[in-house]
Amino acid sequence: TLQTPRPGEIGLVENLLVDRAFVIDPLEAAMFGELNEVKPTAPHSVSNALAAAGLARAIGIDHEVIREAIKQFRPGRHRIELVLEQNGIRWIDDSKATNPHAAQACLMSELSVVWIAGGLAKGAEMSDLIAQVGSRLRGVVLIGTDRELIADELQTKFPNVPLIRVDPKPGHDRRSASNDFMDQVVREAKLLANVGDAVLLAPACASMDQFVSYGDRGDRFAKSVREIVGNNDNAS
């Protein structure tokens, strides 16, 4: 649980990961980590860590071993990966979020978001996603073939959220070394973002309409962020 655990549960007490399930006295608790040791510190990641800890304790693994494993664990690339934090704005690559459910997990971990979204929806519905995350959106930069599925839901449910559509130049080749398209996406997101915001590439869609893969999409995003935001590029 992400709440204070009852006897028989594993959960959180303030910023501590606590075991009240596999202890001798059910009225006692054993700490096996701190919240900031879970990377990324997003609700679904913390839930996964607690579940894994419960399985480990069930087969007798010590708390300190579990804590060290949590500290050492890093998710794969393009999964809520912090690219840059500058001027109070965090730039995060979650290009692996290729469906609405995965995108929601990332978006719900932040309070104020500039969202980069769109691509190939592959028949996915966006209504529930927008209903859940719309109130957190500072603005949205839309790309990709099925972006209007997202735009329509936003304009119906949250019409005051700014939308910016970015298209590649004519003749765009997704295999090209040129990064002009993603550069423009990042510049538009930079204009929307304020101190305290997170800019999230969590597209809720597959990538192959405009990129080679979700990895390519994430790599291009990271490159643009480092070059444009990191170097304070003010080009429009």
**Per-residue confidence (pLDDT) for residue 236, from 0 to 100:** 43
Residue 5 maps to a domain: no
Query: Is 199 found in the same domain as 153?
Result: yes
**Per-residue confidence (pLDDT) for residue 76, from 0 to 100:** 72
Amino acid identity, residue 92? I
How many domains are contained in the chain? 2
Q: Mention every residue, 6+ apart, whose C-beta is less than 8 A from residue 39.
A: 45, 73, 74, 75
Cβ burial, residue 52 (10 Å; 0-12/13-18/19+): middle
Query: Is 170 found in the same domain as 61?
Result: no
**Per-residue confidence (pLDDT) for residue 25, from 0 to 100:** 86
Residue 4 maps to a domain: no
Sheet holding 163-165, edge to edge: 81-86, 89-93, 198-201, 113-117, 137-142, 163-165
Over its C-alpha atoms, the chain yields an Rg (Å, rounded) of 20
Print the domain residue range for 212: 81-229
Query: Is 91 found in the same domain as 188?
Result: yes
Which CATH number does the domain housing residue 103 bear?
A: 3.90.190.20
Question: Which tokens sit at 73?
Answer: 């664990």
DSSP H helices, the chain, are: 43-58, 63-72, 100-107, 127-133, 147-157, 180-192, 214-224
Query: Is 113 found in the same domain as 147?
Result: yes
**Per-residue confidence (pLDDT) for residue 234, from 0 to 100:** 55
pLDDT mean values, one per 10 residues, the chain (236 residues)? 91 92 88 88 84 94 94 83 96 98 93 98 97 98 98 98 96 92 98 98 97 98 97 61
Query: Is 113 found in the same domain as 25?
Result: no
Last residue of a domain, one of 46, 72, 98: 72
Query: Is 213 found in the same domain as 138?
Result: yes
Query: Is 123 found in the same domain as 16?
Result: no
Rounded CA-CA distance 201/132 in Å is: 17
**Per-residue confidence (pLDDT) for residue 120, from 0 to 100:** 98
Residue 1 maps to a domain: no
Beta carbons of 118 and 140 less than 8 angstroms apart = no
Residue 2 maps to a domain: no
Query: Is 88 found in the same domain as 56?
Result: no
